[in-house]
Amino acid sequence: MTKKEFVAAFAEKGELKLKDSERLVNAFLSTVEEALVKTKGVRFIGFGSWEVKKREAREVMNPQTGKKMKVKAKSVVKF
């Protein structure tokens, strides 16, 4: 489901105007993003959790060229 589809489904379920639904979804996503930056995790008991994990640097193969390349370490969000 895309964000656009989610906003539409949320609007229908909540009997909201599309514009109001989009504003609420954006506020929710922004709040989750800020919480992940500050606390490294967001948990909804009975639903699931988002957490920030460190992905180590590694060597991967470029699928277009077949050549090996290095990918730097980075933080990723896991659900």
Task: Note whether 52 and 33 are within 8 A (CB).
Answer: no
Q: What is the pLDDT of residues 8-31, one digit of tens each?
A: 999 999 999 999 999 999 999 999
Q: How far is CA 45 from the centre of its chain?
A: 18
Q: What is the pLDDT of residues 48-74, one digit of tens each?
A: 999 999 999 999 999 999 999 999 999
Task: Note whether 62 and 69 are within 8 A (CB).
Answer: yes
Task: Note whether 74 and 55 are within 8 A (CB).
Answer: yes
pTM here is 0.76
d(Cα 14, Cα 28) in Å, to the nearest integer?
15
Entry field: residues in the chain: 79
All structural domains of the chain with their residue ranges: 1-39, 40-79
Choose which CATH entry (1.10.1040.10, 4.10.520.10, 3.90.950.20, 3.30.499.10) describes domain 40-79.
Answer: 4.10.520.10
Mean pLDDT (the chain) is 96
DSSP 68: E
